[in-house]
Amino acid sequence: MKKLKIGITCYPTVGGSGVLATELGKMLAERGHEIHFITSSVPFRLNKLYPNVFFHEVQVNNYSVFQYPPYDLALASKMADVIRDEKLDVLHVHYAIPHAVCAVLARDMCGENIGIVTTLHGTDISILGQDSNLAQAIKYGIEKSDIVTTVSNSLKEQTYEIIGTTKEIETVYNFVDESVFKPIVDTNLKEQLGIAEDERVLIHVSNFRKIKNLPDVVGTFLKVREEMPAKLLLVGDGPEKQRVLEQIHSSPFKDDILFLGKQENIAELFSISDLKLLLSETESFGLVLLEALACGVPGIGTNVGGIPEVIDHGVNGFVVNLGDVDEAAQYAIELLKDEEKLIRFRQAAINTVQTKFLAKPIIDHYEQLYERLVALR
Ligand code: GMT
């Protein structure tokens, strides 16, 4: 295919949408496309120099006349500059607002006929879409984009329901870089963390927002811990950490919960784990679940959003009702006590990634979307 010049805008800080957008950009660059990230800081997974990848920083100056710094306008203005100066073919934005709206404004500003692809990631619809102050802007961004994708079928349905648009939307699942997310053996990480060989390891990775439902993650673990020696790894940080500390304050098992903070070596941490817990209130996909599966770690997730599209109940993990800690603990205990079953689930986890979420066919899909747009110009 023709090599394209592609602009990418995402939230550059820790979070699934930024991770996905950055990995996509890196892989497209490996295929020979020229990638221009237009973001407020260097995306956190863009941690070294990559050939064909460029970074354009959006700078927002705060003048005393502004009550709020005008990030959206600075972004749109920067996008317009990059579209014109770098002669971009496509602008792929992640998250409806403000990114899709800024892309549309930028196209208008520079007068170039550039194709806009918008990928919806979740809370831009499930939470912001319900806010009447933002709903019209989200709808506008979606409808003025040339192509709109969602990361799960569930999010597609939710978008139609909440936003009330008739725009055609395609599901393109999240993917993992399987050269990074794979079972890693021969680390002494377990020992370093003070975890004994006979202890089972449960893991939760998130930004500790309320929607991640940390109390149920900890509640499930405490029930498991009553039945067997085990540790819970809590990876990430955020507003709910204090609540967890209060929850475990008087538990006899509080020393079995390890707060590891934000970590880079996620694949290594998954590789010493036996089970991933993601008991969110809302989750369009659950990229961390997929990363765990790729490392051979089965998951227990709630029956919300796109989680049932990732967890095949009874095969690579279990899907439980939101809030049902007893059910989650029961499944966890049964699995963790049965070595043969656990091995079967571990293999199934890897198979799920190989058959449904491999990077290559998903990047192919995005390339086809770009090609379709370029052909129309
Ligand atoms: O889940 C978060 O808190 C971060 C959020 C984001 O916007 O980066 O993640 C969303 O996008 C990810 C990548 O597509 C999805 O895997 C997450 O499920 C989705 N989060 C929610 O829907 C809550």
- 306-343: pLDDT as tens digits: 999 999 999 999 999 999 999 999 999 999 999 999 99
Return the residue whose CA atom lies nearest to atom 4 of ligand 1. 15
**What CA–CA distances, in Å, run from 50 to 17, 29, 43, 94, 336?**
20, 8, 13, 21, 41
Q: ipTM of the predicted structure?
A: 0.97
At residue 239, the pLDDT reads 94
At residue 66, the pLDDT reads 86
The H-or-E segment that residue 367 falls in is: helix 359-376
The H-or-E segment that residue 229 falls in is: none
- The bridge status of strand 317-320 relative to strand 299-302 is parallel
What are the φ/ψ torsions at residue 258 (nearest 5 degrees)? -105, 120
At residue 123, the pLDDT reads 84
* Ligand 1 centre distance from Cα of residue 63 (Å): 33
User: Which residue do the tokens 């040339």 mark?
Assistant: 146
DSSP 255: G
From the CA of 285, give the closest atom in ligand 1. Answer: 18
Cβ neighbors of 161 (< 8 A, separation 6 or more) are: none
At residue 126, the pLDDT reads 81
* Ligand 1 centre distance from Cα of residue 207 (Å): 10
CA separation for the pair 74, 265 (Å, rounded):
34
- Minimal CA–CA distance to 83: which of 110, 116, 105? 110
The 5-9 sheet, strands edge to edge:
53-57, 34-39, 5-9, 90-94, 115-120, 147-150, 169-171
Return the residue whose CA atom lies nearest to atom 7 of ligand 1. 17
- Minimal CA–CA distance to 338: which of 264, 296, 267, 275? 275
Q: Each residue of 296-310: pLDDT tens digit?
A: 999 999 999 999 999
From the CA of 282, give the closest atom in ligand 1. Answer: 23
Pocket of ligand 1 (CB under 6 A): 15-18, 20, 121-123, 126, 151, 174, 207, 209, 211, 282-287
* Ligand 1 centre distance from Cα of residue 310 (Å): 14
Three-state SS for 4?
Answer: coil
What are the φ/ψ torsions at residue 230 (nearest 5 degrees)? -160, 160
Burial of 44 (0-12, 13-18, 19+ CB in 10 A): middle
Domains of the chain (ranges; CATH) run: 5-175+358-376 (3.40.50.2000), 189-356 (3.40.50.2000)
**What is the rounded radius of gyration, in angstroms, for the C-alpha atoms of the chain?**
21
* Ligand 1 centre distance from Cα of residue 373 (Å): 26
At residue 13, the pLDDT reads 82
* Ligand 1 centre distance from Cα of residue 9 (Å): 16
- Minimal CA–CA distance to 116: which of 85, 152, 153, 76? 76
Residue 81 tokens, joined: 């500059």
CA separation for the pair 55, 45 (Å, rounded):
13
Instruction: Check: CB of residue 196 under 8 Å from CB of residue 203.
Output: no
CA separation for the pair 291, 184 (Å, rounded):
13
Q: Which of 235, 285, 311, 366 to mutate to test the pocket of ligand 1 (most atoms within 8 A of CB)?
A: 285
Cβ neighbors of 326 (< 8 A, separation 6 or more) are: 223
From the CA of 280, give the closest atom in ligand 1. Answer: 23
The 200-205 sheet, strands edge to edge:
257-261, 230-235, 200-205, 275-278, 299-302, 317-320
Name the stretches of the chain with pLDDT < 70: 14
What are the φ/ψ torsions at residue 132 (nearest 5 degrees)? -65, -20
* Ligand 1 centre distance from Cα of residue 304 (Å): 13
Task: Give me the residues paired with residue 299 across strands.
Answer: 276, 317
User: Which residue do the tokens 């170039």 mark?
Assistant: 112
CB-facing half-sphere around the CA of 72: CA atoms within 13 A: 13
**What CA–CA distances, in Å, run from 91 to 137, 296, 374?**
19, 35, 11
The H-or-E segment that residue 317 falls in is: strand 317-320
* Ligand 1 centre distance from Cα of residue 171 (Å): 15
